[in-house]
Amino acid sequence: LGRPREAVGKFERSVEATAAHQVRSRYNNLGYLLGVQVRVGAWSDAETTIRQIGELVGDVASTRTVVLLTRILPELKHEHVPGSTRETAEQLEFLLSQTNT
């Protein structure tokens, strides 16, 4: 709705409220959280979210989430993004390419 800062908190709560056994929902919610973190430039938080997503890549298949992530990850290749965040995003991109081949 054009209010990404508000969305960060809502998606954080959504991730926290997702039960541990709801892996697909958690994966998807983390993808949306990452999107708003990138939009507001919350790089450290985005790195944490990328790592959490990476832990789930091999455990769940979700075309919706993969499509979402393939739209977000290119945004993390820009020079204004901290190097560690770019590297973490590259690792996730690699994991996704290995899992979805």
Look up residue 43 and give its two tokens.
């790089």
Give the whole-angstrom CA distance, residue 59 versus residue 79: 32
Are 75 and 38 in contact, with CB atoms under 8 Å apart? yes
Which pLDDT belongs to residue 75? 95
pLDDT digits (tens, 9 = 90+) for 39-95: 999 999 999 999 999 999 988 888 899 999 999 999 999 999 999 999 999 999 999
Tell me the residue type at 60.
Answer: V
How many residues are listed for the chain in this entry?
A: 101
Are 68 and 30 in contact, with CB atoms under 8 Å apart? no
Which pLDDT belongs to residue 33? 96
Q: Which residue has the higher pLDDT, 7 or 31?
A: 31
101 has a pLDDT exceeding 80: no
